[in-house]
Amino acid sequence: MAITTISRIQHRRGLATDLPQLAAGELGWVVDQQRLFIGNGTVAEGAPAVGNTEVVTSGQVSSLTTALSYFYKGYLGNSTPIVTGASGNFSRTLQSKLDDFVSVKDFGALGDGSTNDTSAIQRALDELYCDTDKDDERARRVLYIPGGDYRINASLKIPPFAHVRGAGAGKTVIYQATGNATVAVFQDDEKNVYSNIGSSSATTPTNITIEGITIQNGEAYGGVSIDNATQVKFVRCEFKGSYATSSPADNANSKGVTVRSTTALPCSKIIFDSCTFTKFARLVDISFDVTNVRFLNCDFNTAYYGALIGAEMDGSTNGLTNGPRDIQFSGNCWNTISQQAIYVAPTAGADAGTGPRNIISHANWYGSTVANNFEGIGTLNEVPVIQYDNDECSSALDFFERTDLRRTDGSSHMNMAPEVQGIGKLTNAIKQITLLDNTSATTTTIEFPAGSGALGKSITLNYKIERGSTLRVGTFVISVSANGVAHDDTFTESNGDAGVTLTAVLGREDSASSDKTVIVKYVTTSTGANATMDVESTQLV
């Protein structure tokens, strides 16, 4: 290249194939490719390496465009790229690719544990789901909240079609501590809340998914209020309050999850999957008109009440006319709850036929720390683990650890504590017990709480007894009343007489002042063989 001096700067020009190592600060212009280079200088002069550094110019537009474009190559990358278009690859700009992913940090949220992120998070929710392009499905992207501690001082308002994803419970934390408010409520796409939701034909809250977030309130206020909403799903979320067990008491403001409906817009189709509810006075409080709510594989712990259903329903107030219906708890774990794990309250002031219905507990684990006022097994303050004071409720295949602990140790055997009480049905899993040969008036280990005042309890045992080649299949019905216990055994046998007689009596297993336990006993003849009894119990409580 020829050397031209302009002031004190040297530069060369020529073809790309002729570009030499340039001196420090020397410019080299590649004529055929319209590219510009500058010499690095020597390492002794302070350059990181000897060589030429290219300066971006308009001649590099094609290569720069390539760098800023994107097409999916597949997991093998350049070695075996896949074809994304009908012919060749479908290319996108880097901007459009990055816009597939939206973070609250794109709207100014910091998540540093001290900055007030209320406005930034709300702005993100509103821009994606409420503002000018709210009716365009392309605007409804998943909103990501990276791991961090996001401080707020007012309720966040969740719009229709919101899909908010965190990094995981305990990683992404939304923390309210200074607003005397619930952490989050719902809004329509015109930003109206609760009683005004749906005004002027606004789209009501629907198709909302929240996943992988801790929703925490540092004050004695709520976690989330689900308002006039349908098709709502919370997945792997944590609802965390500030309730302390040192001074156990109820607090109607401290609710992990509640719903609010109007008569015109009742809530329905709500799912909580693999969530944790902890440290609220009421972990779940559902009184308003709501249908089809599911709690699946969740953990409930540290509260005064677990799930309080229908306590505020009155049959006349807007949204409180029918009460909650079809609420199911399945596969959950309950611990450290002072009062009932599930309490379906009586319908105060409502017409007959209204109130909570079809409240079902199925295959739940109720730990020994439930329903004993935080005082342990055998205290005088024990209450039913589940209390159904309204119609059409049931418990099926639940496990009550408190029951086993009261009767396992013969040296400290206690009267049965109520598992389910009120107006409902309790179906226990099948148990197998051995009936010893040639014995009289022996306890089978099948026991039931007699109920308050020994009134109105019906117990049915469906059983099978095998003894040698003899088989008996029967139904043993126990009736508990103020007059004591009556029983009836109806069965059929094959291959002879099993030689087993079942009876039921009231017994006193501890120092209580009355007989509070229904005990099933048996007598066997002498055949030289023990009997095996498989039994399923059902109680109308």
Mean pLDDT of 87-113: 91
Q: Where on the phi/psi map is residue 199: left (φ > 0), alpha (ψ -120 to 50), or beta?
A: beta
Q: What is the pTM of this model?
A: 0.86
Phi and psi angles of residue 88, each rounded to the nearest 5 degrees, phi first: 80, -165
CATH architecture for the domain at 158-427: 3 Solenoid (2.160)
pLDDT at 5: 45
Tokens of 310: 């229908």
Strand partners, 82: none
Check pLDDT > 60 for residue 392.
Answer: yes
Beta-carbon contacts of residue 49 (< 8 Å; ≥ 6 apart): 40, 43
What confidence tens digit (pLDDT) does each residue in 124-164 have?
999 999 987 777 787 788 999 999 999 999 999 999 999 99
What are the start-end ranges of the E strands in 450-514?
Answer: 457-467, 470-481, 484-494, 500-507
Judged against a pLDDT cut of 90, whether residue 217 lies above it is answered with: yes
DSSP state of 364: -
Residue with tokens 């030429």: 52
Any idea what DSSP says for residue 350?
P
**Domain 431-540 is found in CATH 2.60.40.1680:** yes
- The answer to whether 74 touches 98, Cβ cutoff 8 Å, is no
How far apart, in whole angstroms, are the C-alpha atoms of residue 319 and residue 111?
37
Residues in CB range of 132: below 8 A, 6 or more apart = none
The strand pair at 517-524 and 500-507 is best described as antiparallel
Residue 277 pLDDT greater than 90, yes or no: yes
Mean pLDDT for 398-407 is 84
pLDDT at 184 over 90: yes
How sure is the predictor about 7, in pLDDT bands with cuts at 50, 70 and 90?
very low
Q: Which of 202, 213, 349, 320 is nearest to 258 (CA)?
A: 320
Residue 342, φ and ψ in degrees, nearest 5 = -130, 125
Is 484 within 8 Å of 451 (Cβ atoms)? Answer: no
Domain assignments of the chain as residue spans, ordered by start = 2-55, 158-427, 431-540
